[in-house]
Structure 1
Amino acid sequence: MKAPGWFSRLSRRGIASNAVEREAWRRLDASIVRYRGEPVGTIASGDGDAPAQNYDHVFTRDFFVSAVAFLLRGEHEIVRNFLRVALDLQSADHHMDCFRPGQGMMPASFRVAGTGAEERLEPDFGEHAIARVTPIDSGFWWLYLLHAYTRASGDESLTKSDAMQRGIRLILELCLPPRHEMLPTLLVPDGAFMIDRRLGVYGHPLDIQVLFHLALRAADGLLDVPVDDPLRRAVAERESHLAHHLRHYYWLDMATLNRIYRYQVEELGADAANPFNIRPDTIPEWLFEWMPRDGGYFAGNLGPARLDVRLFSQGNLLAVLSGLADREQAQAILNLFESRREDLLGETPVKLVFPALEGRDWQLLTGGDPKNAPWSYHNGGNWPFLLWLFTAAAIRAGRREFAAEVLDAVEERLAAEQWAEYYDGRGGRLVGKEARLDQTWSVAGYLAARRMLANPDAIDFLGFGAPSTATSCDAGSRAPA
């Protein structure tokens, strides 16, 4: 008796999936970098035809994706070694020289140079990057990875070592001190994180604010000090205020858009309904029609008279995974991805930013950057590495079937097109014009997603338990210290 047609299709897909997964693990294992015989990270790309740039470096943000895949496979050594090496390279000296990395900064990347007895590590804090952009996100990814490693491995001795505790403190002391602002968000220049080119993200971009929140939650659990320690109290207070600020002021759904549509401007005082003086006519008309009734997302940026309504996928998906998005917001974000699948996932998930900057906006906000042309690279390109985060967020929101459907539809194409770095076009149909092949985090993102779908409970090491309790930090209603 022949198997039903659906069973045959599932069987064929299962065989193909296993073959893709085996080949992906082979590529990830081949990308491992060793220092003095020990695995310490993975290179950014194994594309032998790529120009000799920095794709042979171990990038902090890229390795996080590889680390998730390794931890899901039960491999802890490479992650532990990376955490130690990055800590050794952390800028630890206090100085007043503006041409040197600030105390506490983690490198954007490092490479192993020399051989034998001359082998050494060479960090890059942005000195060699295009446009000399510095990595504001590296320390946050490192803190989050230390949290994930500790939970996955059960190894608390590494976290409690004097060196690790000092490294955690240096990162916090870099980003927590008072500055020329009275908001809980972190001021960020253009190009200082994954989007390392001009894209109009200066100010308080969502991706960094969510990463900052993640880092604070991680640090609160990693600091080996009493709960009344001044630094730990400062961490808890800032985290709470930041969570409230993001959930309240960055959130967009139909109810919020209706409220903004009726905003008055030039309001004064703590009770202003429009505290950032947003002009309703600056909200593009397409958004009112595009937003589903049951959908919503966190806006890309917020500041005086500025609400950037672009959707940044990484920040929104991290908000779901970390618990920053409350239960209703998490469901609304996944509803949006499902309702607007063609725009936000396309043929090769996941769209990094939607919509793209075009025309005069592209010329002014990107400086006419040809690599960030509309619907390419950071400006509306599709990045397969985000599959791990989309899958984790979907599982967290109880939408595992949606994530499985998305991954099943794309895995054979990713393998056939040699794990490209990114895809171009509105629907992500074209391999990126300058995309590197054999991109390690594209491989690792797929592998992590596949492992999560096989064992949904495995994502627990990426979470923090119960969501944080956010309190208001508005003028006149600050939470008590």
Structure 2
Amino acid sequence: MNERPSTSRATEPLHATRHCFAAPRFADESVVLADAYRLLDDAVIRYQGHPVGTMASLDPRAPADNYRDCFVRDFVSTAFLMLLEGRSEVVREFLALILRMRGQQEELEGQQIAPGVLPASFRVVTLDDGSEELSADFGDRAIGRVAPVDSMMWWTVLLRAYVRFTGDTAFAHTPEVQRGLRMILSLCLQSRFEVFPTLLVPDGSFMIDRRMGVFGHPLEIQALFDMTLRAADLLTVDEGSHWLIDLAATRRQVLRDYVRRYYWLDLDVLNEVHRFSTEKFGHDIDNVFNIYPESIPDWVPDWVPDNGGYFVGNLGPGRIDFRFFSQGNFLASLSGLATREQSRLQMQTMADRWDDLIGQMPVKLVYPAVTGSEWRLMTGSDPKNTPWSYHNGGNWPVLIWPMVAAAQVAGRQDLGERAYRVAEQRLMKDGWPEYYDGRHGRLIGRRANLHQVWSATGLLLARHLLEDPGRLAQLALTEDEDSAPRSGRGQGERGGGRA
């Protein structure tokens, strides 16, 4: 067995100056935080002399060259950090740059991608004459050739954060930004063969970028959809957008009532599902989706806490995906898609199932892993998504910041601090891995990149939030009391209705 080379960067000399981040921002900045900043600085991508993004990974052994790209979803945590540390001009340039690349969309299988879709990633290419050009990937270079759905949503979340933090409404009101925002909202709100208010997407179109049985209406996309609809408040009120603003507000209210009612699971709801009658017709029935009680997985009855709850991962006719999807649950609490009581119960689930969901590295992306014949059928025998690895039950350090944010919304700062301490102990020592393997996240991911940038920025952003929870509101990540849609069934209740 070959000896694994050391992945620690702690013994390397620190940079004398920072590329994008000035002085250390924390009074007691540790060696770990200093190393995270150094990794971030080394990953900065420049275009025409100006920083415009960060590479996904600096691992020279990365299996694919697109890890040198700037991914939209990866950069968001860096962008939040830049806003908090006085580099808002980089965020503005990134937002504008992504819009300018819309014209690079290529036809896939002879069909043009919808114009509201933004690139998953981009790179700066140096030509023979020394000039630079931008090259965007809309899924045409991706594994499986799946166009990203979440890029446009994260872009709108970041846009709203930028405007709220800087007060730069003039940027939001430029024709280019207004046009881009209208295209995104129009794409999300267009009529489909759908009776549900949730957004239909395929497998592999968001953070879980491989086949994992998340097709349909995955929770993460619904939470991002809710946050995207909130960005309609950046549209100028005129004849061309008034209808879109009204439609977004209406859809958001219906979406929230629906998710709070039908996606919520606690022990009371589980008992209802366990006793469901099936094959019922009409409006006034409990089992709206014709869920068969026999479809409840064996692990669920003993896993759902007595005094906790969470949002299931997916829902559709005859189907509940009972897996715990961390990103979707955290974003639901952060944005206000969850009621305050649901947020509190979700964090109680984190506390009661700490070994399963946190273990030795925050946070497990999906619990539990799919195994055996289910794994073969669901993933297509994907060798990267073997049980308890990658997106099939791997632990992802970047999730530390949304976990800390959700804990603060729920009034459980203690859980955020506890998770942060777990992450801080290992990440630098292990070389900032992309993800961890194993039921409890004890092993560095078998195929994980090292020096993964969002593993570092997730920790840095979490530290900022722990020092000042008010930064969530400064970044427009929490719900505004004066702009929140009136909540429907579930507000103030123990649960949110029937799953």
Give the TM-score normalised by structure 2: 0.89
User: Cα offset for 1:78?
Assistant: 1.2
Q: Which residue of 1 aligns with 2:315?
A: 302
| Alpha-carbon distance in 1 for matches of 2:223, 2:422 | 29
Mapping of 1:157-306 within 5 angstroms?
157-218=170-231, 220-225=232-237, 229-306=242-319
User: Cα offset for 1:49?
Assistant: 2.4
Deviations 1:155-187 (A, max 9, x none): 111111111000000111212111111111111
Counterpart check, 1:147 vs 2:160: yes
| Alpha-carbon distance in 1 for matches of 2:306, 2:485 | 27
User: Cα offset for 1:286?
Assistant: 2.2
Q: Which residue of 2 aligns with 1:464?
A: 479
Contact 1:384 1:445 in 2 (8 A): yes
Q: Which residue of 2 aligns with 1:120?
A: 133
Q: Which residue of 2 aligns with 1:477?
A: none
User: Cα offset for 1:471?
Assistant: 4.8
Decide whether aligned partners of structure 1 residues 17 and 409 sit closer, same or farther in structure 2, where only a CA change above 3 A counts: farther
The amino acid of 2:295's aligned partner reads T
Contact 2:433 2:451 in 1 (8 A): yes
Mapping of 1:25-174 within 5 angstroms?
25-91=37-103, 98-115=110-127, 118-174=131-187
The amino acid of 2:318's aligned partner reads A
| Alpha-carbon distance in 2 for matches of 1:254, 1:135 | 35
User: Cα offset for 1:429?
Assistant: 0.3
| Alpha-carbon distance in 2 for matches of 1:367, 1:19 | 42
Q: Which residue of 2 aligns with 1:7?
A: none
The amino acid of 1:221's aligned partner reads D
Counterpart check, 1:20 vs 2:35: no
| Alpha-carbon distance in 2 for matches of 1:303, 1:87 | 34
Structure ranking higher in helix proportion? 1
Decide whether aligned partners of structure 1 residues 398 and 283 sit closer, same or farther in structure 2, where only a CA change above 3 A counts: same
User: Cα offset for 1:258?
Assistant: 1.1
Q: Which residue of 2 aligns with 1:392?
A: 405
User: Cα offset for 1:25?
Assistant: 1.0
Identity fraction in percent: 48
User: Cα offset for 1:15?
Assistant: 9.7
SS of the residue 1:41 aligns to: strand
Q: Which residue of 2 aligns with 1:10?
A: none
Decide whether aligned partners of structure 1 residues 95 and 229 sit closer, same or farther in structure 2, where only a CA change above 3 A counts: farther
**415, 418, 425: which one pairs with 1:402?**
415
Contact 2:105 2:138 in 1 (8 A): no
User: Cα offset for 1:17?
Assistant: 5.6
SS of the residue 1:428 aligns to: coil
Q: Which residue of 1 aligns with 2:9?
A: none
| Alpha-carbon distance in 2 for matches of 1:185, 1:139 | 16
Q: Which residue of 1 aligns with 2:493?
A: none
The amino acid of 1:414's aligned partner reads L
SS of the residue 2:428 aligns to: helix
| Alpha-carbon distance in 2 for matches of 1:56, 1:65 | 17
The amino acid of 1:244's aligned partner reads D
| Alpha-carbon distance in 1 for matches of 2:158, 2:203 | 24
| Alpha-carbon distance in 1 for matches of 2:442, 2:163 | 39
Decide whether aligned partners of structure 1 residues 354 and 62 sit closer, same or farther in structure 2, where only a CA change above 3 A counts: same
Q: Any gaps of 5 or more consecutive residues in structure 1?
A: 1-13, 473-481
Which is worse superposed, 372-381 or 64-73?
64-73
Q: Which residue of 2 aligns with 1:455?
A: 468
Q: Any gaps of 5 or more consecutive residues in structure 2?
A: 1-25, 490-499
| Alpha-carbon distance in 1 for matches of 2:371, 2:348 | 27
**333, 339, 347: which one pairs with 1:320?**
333
SS of the residue 1:406 aligns to: helix
Contact 1:254 1:291 in 2 (8 A): yes
User: Cα offset for 1:16?
Assistant: 8.4
After TM superposition, the runs of 4+ consecutive aligned structure 1 residues lying more than 4 A away are 14-17, 91-98
Which is worse superposed, 373-382 or 205-214?
205-214
Which is worse superposed, 142-151 or 280-289?
280-289
Which is worse superposed, 378-387 or 202-211?
202-211
Contact 2:88 2:166 in 1 (8 A): yes
Decide whether aligned partners of structure 1 residues 457 and 369 sit closer, same or farther in structure 2, where only a CA change above 3 A counts: same
Contact 1:94 1:103 in 2 (8 A): no
The amino acid of 1:26's aligned partner reads R
| Alpha-carbon distance in 2 for matches of 1:154, 1:15 | 28
Q: How many residue pairs get matched?
A: 458
Q: Which residue of 1 aligns with 2:459?
A: 446
Contact 1:28 1:443 in 2 (8 A): yes
| Alpha-carbon distance in 2 for matches of 1:464, 1:263 | 35
| Alpha-carbon distance in 1 for matches of 2:105, 2:249 | 26
Contact 2:249 2:485 in 1 (8 A): no
Give the TM-score normalised by structure 1: 0.92
The amino acid of 1:183's aligned partner reads F
| Alpha-carbon distance in 2 for matches of 1:99, 1:58 | 25
User: Cα offset for 1:91?
Assistant: 4.8
